[in-house]
Structure 1
Amino acid sequence: MRHMSESVFVGLCRIVGTSQQVAMRRDIADIREIMSQQRSSQFIMILSGSKREGFRLLGSDEDRMTWSENNRVIWEFSQSRHYNLSREVLILTDSSDSPPGFTLLRLLTPRADINIRCACVKMNERLYISSSFYRLIMFRSKYPNYTTHIHGPCSSGNVFGKEYDIANCFVSDFWPPLASSWINRCHFWPHLQVVRDIVRNGCHFVAIGHKLGNHEDKEWRISFSVAEQKLAYSMNHSQFLTYGLLKVYLKEVINNDVSSEDKLLCSYHMKTAVFWVLQQNLLSNWCQQTFLEGFWICFKIILKWVYEGVCPNFFIPQNNMFLSKIHGEAQLILFLRLYTLYERGIACLLQSPSIRSCVVNALCNPTLFICTNEMTLIPEYTIDAEIFTELIKINLCYTTTLRHSVNALKAVERLMIKSHLMQYHVPYLQRLVALILRKTAFILHGMYTKTCSNKRSETSMRHMSESVFEGMCRIVGTSNQVAMRRDMADIRDLMLNQARTDDQTCMIMSGSNGEGMRLLEFDLDTMAWSDKDQVNSDLSQTRLYILSRQVLILTDSSDSPKGFTLLQLLIPRADKFSYHVSE
């Protein structure tokens, strides 16, 4: 068994990764999350699921969780004192009528965003956030242009060739009271410091209800995804590879040739089994030589759970995760399938295409020395290539302006100064800084190019203006020519008016010729009037005139458009041309 354990351990290192590769993936995921939170203080999105734990298995999608920091869930009213009610939306749990591990969420503060308000339903004169409504609203508002569908609490689909699951959820800073017994169970595993860190980070609520609950469409499931990631980090590499072996065996053997609708066991059940075995310390020395013993203990626990129809949640044991799916005939078929594998003993691993060669190699060469030194299992260039693959995933879509670039560099500087950086944090930050500087160079180049282009446009416009100005001087005339024409017109008008007798009519040049223009095909405009005829806008102005010598006319604009008026003759002594009476 030890010899076979070492052989399978080496095979799993090549499939799942060595401890160095897993540490690298986790470090880069951690620093990416830290940088993401540095950029946005309101909306948080984290990588979750198997990829966050350090797996890179073929066919695995990318699980993410997202929530708003302004929305906070509390378990009792007294916890509201920790929040600023003018800025944060408080939501209260109500588990009185829900199965263990599920709860209703009651909206306490009406000042919530439109998505939450639209998802609310009234029950017993109180507003509760419906999980089904919220899931549908967020699905339609955030991913309207992508090929997506709702899968459990997540929006699932394919964006740019990448499979993803995104769960829109709520966060609580407090540990669930129903999970307090978990703290007291942690005698052997995990370490006390890990337990404190998990409890301090609280939990989340994902939008899906219990299928047998009284309020399935309104209930929310309590999620311990962040806690499970921390537990996976606390495993040694042999324990982590046991979890990986269970995932591979589930996919290639247990669920092989089973439709997605008929798959009753999932990788979460495998992870739960590993957690229970570790906490109960059922294998005291979990290492490379006892690797398969750990796998076999976990397999027998899963077999026992299927036989009893009870799979207790690791944090809330009262939550039976088999309750809604594994029962009746389906339970019997699954048990017989697993029991058939159990009867074959550890040789059941021969049915896994990925593991078969490792088992055969150990059985056929019982005296063969197997080197389990991880440094010799994977070539350095393979590790370097994977590091590069992880680093090229850096997304700089947020550095669209110079200000964004400066803020990103300041965030990196704060991390470099204040944080304890892990081994693979440094290359990530180096790559990030290089990309930010490159992006900044393009932004500055664009700004300079735009400035130069503007300057060239201004110079070109100036040259064009000068050319057109010169042409118009030839057509219209220079300033000297225009001034000469105006002076000649003024003196002509003056001489004509001086030479006239008192009863003669005044006449002046008007229009473009009077202004100084001498363009071809323009008419000669003149204006003429008699000094004896004076128009007044008010009767009081008549005192300024000699009534015996002048004809007075009064304006009447009461019934005329703006800029027009009627002229009323006040003095009957007018020349004969002024009389034309309309009946």
Structure 2
Amino acid sequence: MDPIFMSPVKTALQHMSESVFIGLCDKLGTSQLVAMKRDVVDMMDMLDNQVRTNDENSVIWSGSHKEGFRLEGSDIDYMSWPNNYRVIWELSQSQYYNTHRLTLILSDCSDSPPGFTLLYLLSPSMDRQVQRACVIMNNRHLISSSEYRRTWCSVVYSDSIEHGPCASGVSDGETEYDIAHCFVSDFWPQPATVWIYRCHSWPQPHIVDDIVKNGCHLVAIGHTLGNHVHNEWRISFSLAEFKLVCAMNHCQFLTYGLLKLCLTEIMNNGLSDEDKLLCSYHMKTAVFWVIQQNTLQQWCPQNLLECFWVCFKLILKWVYEGVCPNFFIPQNNMFLSKVHCETKHQLFIRLYGLYEKGLAFLLHSPSIRSCIINVFHNPHLSICTDEHTLISEAEFDIELVKEIHTYGSLLTPNLETYMRYLHTIEQMIDSPLLTQYQVLILQKLTASVLQNTAFTFYMETYTHKNKLRYRADKISCHMLKLAAKFGYITDMMYIAIYYYKTLRYMKALSIIEMTKVKLAQPYVMYWYDVDREMYTEAVGGQPWSTKMRHAVVGNVTLNNKIHYISELIPEQQSAQQNEEPVLFIPPFILLYMLKILCYRHVETSRVQTALNDLQTLVHYDQGQLIPSPYRDISWQILGICQQVTGNLQAALYSYQQSLGQRPFNKIQMATEMRIQGNCH
């Protein structure tokens, strides 16, 4: 053991470890928060893939987001594979499949580096992407990884670029994504068989069994030093790694998180992308090896820094030797193509310089510097590492709302698909295996499905005869009212929108007034902001379904393939042409818009008052009711309302202000059209 961890210094280090543990819980989440985030993502993966047909691709979240991290600037990673293909490792495995429904692919590792393989089609493929990727080798149809990758980037994701095995791009103007298109194997790969027998102490046998029975994936990238670099596929253990991360205790998870932070903020700080030889995957691999080799007797808050140091030294050793063994296939040296010769020497010098500083080099990390300094300044400070005391009920609820906001909408305007979702949710909701957070996301998704179904149903029956239209209207109204019982306060707004769309202005105004009263309560949570004390006093300790209905406010999201309000159709079309699936509208903005539009038909004397209220809100709000990303649509709606009431000069000013905002909703085309067509 390093002298730095021996008494009497060890007591001070334990104190510092506890402080860093608290800081990492604040930065990365307590064990309960991390479990909640995983549960929600897991549920979305499960639901989406149960609804998909055999002709569609399965898509799952992967990488650090799925593991429970929410680090600023991190990419969002996905894996996608066709459901009608399966990879087998030997021909005898074909007996388990109906080859009339599935196309089989044979993996051949004999002429590839460890961890890589060639994929041969065993029967002709009808899939155009697969056909384009096939080349002839040894008189057989080989699926070329480079051609497959190129096909997906050029045909399916025209605005993306190739990034390793992925199609990489940017969504909503700021979030980078990587989608790895791959094939799935239901069988555990033969080159990783030894791993099963290596798991004596970690992970537990039932986790090993679960990992093995779920097989693996093959992602479209070859080994740069292999014989068939353009045709080989890498064996991916992404799902297995996720299960291993979930098998970590929280100290192990935070150690992994601390390594990721140090990688970004210290090890790779100031380096160009080409010079960043270490990646997050190397950090995760180091933690896996240290846990399995039982190098540390105890992973707990008091020795978190010792755990970190052991992992860091292992990485340093790997760099010195130029060998980073893959956790599942150790013969696969993940440093082989990048970390060698001069690059290895330079990286070792950089890391050894950090090693010589000892744990003091962590002071260079902005994320945890204050945790260490606090202990230096207050050596006798009492530190409680009980996670239950680290986050309040209100703070936890804010984090939960963030997760629900991310996943709680469904966008496909297709009645058949919505029916499949409702049927699947109905089957899943009573499962005793669901966590409370998974039930909540299903509840919010149910509201979303019902709302989209109601408007889609109305659109498809609008031209029918009166009797059929009347029945469809009753069904749509019932679905929207039911959705309001499952969702947030603002889910009532969809009822008001529907009443306005169907010319029932007084009913719409009645719903608007009811919603306005609820929105005015001092304890409501909007845009992750809330008066913690009033919130806790009002709904603290109550079931989350109650909190959602009475204390949570969300944005109104309009699916751009469904026309809700005729006055907003140009904005939806503009956003859709820019591949933006929804409009995000602050509820307070839409509330005033609906009031103005309804009053124009039933009580014109009140139009100006409502317009003044909307104008005051847009002009003077400081981000409380109109978050910064939504100022484009807020100025736009003010302009629309000014235009329909005849004040073209004011409308022109509002549209110009909308153009000057961050183009979050991608409505600039509609703004320019309105300026040119109506305000000059």
- Alignment of structure 1 residues 118-517 onto 2, 5 Å: 118-144=132-158, 146=159, 148-161=160-173, 162-394=175-407, 396-397=409-410, 399-418=412-431, 420-447=433-460, 449-451=462-464
Match of 1:116 among 125, 130, 137: 130
Q: Does 1:39 align with 2:51?
A: yes
**Does structure 1 retain, via aligned residues, the 8 Å contact 2:267–2:351?**
yes
* 1:447–1:131 CA distance, 2 compared to 1 (3 A): closer
- 1:2 corresponds in structure 2 to 14
Which runs of 5 or more structure 2 residues have no equivalent in the other structure?
Answer: 1-12, 470-680
Which runs of 5 or more structure 1 residues have no equivalent in the other structure?
Answer: 457-583
Counterparts of 1:450 and 1:373 in 2: how far apart (Å)? 62
1:115-171 per-position Cα deviation (integer Å, ceiling 9, x unaligned): 112111111211111000000011112112x3x211000001112222100000001
- 1:29 corresponds in structure 2 to 41
Please tell me whether Structure 1 or Structure 2 has the larger radius of gyration of its CA atoms. 1
**CA displacement at 1:406 relative to structure 2:** 2.7
- 1:54 corresponds in structure 2 to 68
SS of 1:55's equivalent in the other structure is coil
- Alignment of structure 1 residues 43-82 onto 2, 5 Å: 43-82=57-96
**Does structure 2 retain, via aligned residues, the 8 Å contact 1:307–1:331?**
yes
Deviation larger for 370-379 or 271-280 = 370-379
Counterparts of 2:301 and 2:209 in 1: how far apart (Å)? 29
* 1:366–1:429 CA distance, 2 compared to 1 (3 A): same
- 1:87 corresponds in structure 2 to 101
SS of 1:354's equivalent in the other structure is coil
* 1:112–1:371 CA distance, 2 compared to 1 (3 A): same
* 1:193–1:107 CA distance, 2 compared to 1 (3 A): same
Counterparts of 2:468 and 2:427 in 1: how far apart (Å)? 39
**Does structure 2 retain, via aligned residues, the 8 Å contact 1:412–1:429?**
yes
* 1:259–1:180 CA distance, 2 compared to 1 (3 A): same
- 1:18 corresponds in structure 2 to 30
1:85-119 per-position Cα deviation (integer Å, ceiling 9, x unaligned): 11111111111111000011111111341211211
SS of 2:326's equivalent in the other structure is coil
For this pair of structures, how many residues does the alignment match?
Answer: 454
Counterparts of 2:454 and 2:132 in 1: how far apart (Å)? 44
Counterparts of 2:151 and 2:379 in 1: how far apart (Å)? 60
What amino acid does structure 1 have at the position aligned with 2:236? S
What amino acid does structure 1 have at the position aligned with 2:445? L
* 1:7–1:455 CA distance, 2 compared to 1 (3 A): closer
**CA displacement at 1:373 relative to structure 2:** 2.0
What amino acid does structure 2 have at the position aligned with 1:47? W
What amino acid does structure 1 have at the position aligned with 2:184? V
SS of 2:124's equivalent in the other structure is coil
**Does structure 1 retain, via aligned residues, the 8 Å contact 2:410–2:448?**
no
**CA displacement at 1:255 relative to structure 2:** 0.2
**CA displacement at 1:222 relative to structure 2:** 0.4
**Does structure 2 retain, via aligned residues, the 8 Å contact 1:176–1:203?**
yes
**Does structure 2 retain, via aligned residues, the 8 Å contact 1:398–1:404?**
no
Counterparts of 2:412 and 2:116 in 1: how far apart (Å)? 40
1:433-481 per-position Cα deviation (integer Å, ceiling 9, x unaligned): 112222233234445644478999xxxxxxxxxxxxxxxxxxxxxxxxx
**CA displacement at 1:418 relative to structure 2:** 4.0
SS of 2:436's equivalent in the other structure is coil
Counterparts of 2:381 and 2:242 in 1: how far apart (Å)? 37
Counterparts of 1:396 and 1:389 in 2: how far apart (Å)? 13
**Does structure 1 retain, via aligned residues, the 8 Å contact 2:135–2:143?**
yes
1:220-276 per-position Cα deviation (integer Å, ceiling 9, x unaligned): 000000000000011011100000000000000000000001100000000000000
1:262-321 per-position Cα deviation (integer Å, ceiling 9, x unaligned): 100000000000000010111121011111111000000000000000000000000000
What amino acid does structure 2 have at the position aligned with 1:105? L
**Does structure 2 retain, via aligned residues, the 8 Å contact 1:399–1:436?**
no
SS of 1:392's equivalent in the other structure is helix
- C-alpha RMSD over aligned residues: 1.7
Match of 2:111 among 76, 79, 97: 97
Deviation larger for 218-227 or 403-412 = 403-412
Counterparts of 2:71 and 2:109 in 1: how far apart (Å)? 37
Counterparts of 1:258 and 1:227 in 2: how far apart (Å)? 31
**Does structure 2 retain, via aligned residues, the 8 Å contact 1:5–1:290?**
yes
* 1:45–1:108 CA distance, 2 compared to 1 (3 A): same
* 1:70–1:447 CA distance, 2 compared to 1 (3 A): closer
What amino acid does structure 1 have at the position aligned with 2:172? F
* 1:447–1:74 CA distance, 2 compared to 1 (3 A): closer
Counterparts of 1:440 and 1:66 in 2: how far apart (Å)? 27
**CA displacement at 1:398 relative to structure 2:** 5.1
**Does structure 1 retain, via aligned residues, the 8 Å contact 2:165–2:219?**
yes
1:49-96 per-position Cα deviation (integer Å, ceiling 9, x unaligned): 000000000110100000011111010010000111111111111111
SS of 1:289's equivalent in the other structure is helix
Counterparts of 1:386 and 1:3 in 2: how far apart (Å)? 28
* 1:355–1:455 CA distance, 2 compared to 1 (3 A): closer
**Does structure 1 retain, via aligned residues, the 8 Å contact 2:410–2:445?**
no
Deviation larger for 428-437 or 163-172 = 428-437
**CA displacement at 1:402 relative to structure 2:** 3.6
Which fold has the larger relative contact order, with Cα–Cα distance below 8 Å and residues 6 or more apart in sequence?
A: 1
SS of 2:422's equivalent in the other structure is helix
* 1:238–1:455 CA distance, 2 compared to 1 (3 A): closer
1:408-443 per-position Cα deviation (integer Å, ceiling 9, x unaligned): 211111112345111211111111111222223323
Counterparts of 1:99 and 1:408 in 2: how far apart (Å)? 43
Counterparts of 1:452 and 1:365 in 2: how far apart (Å)? 78
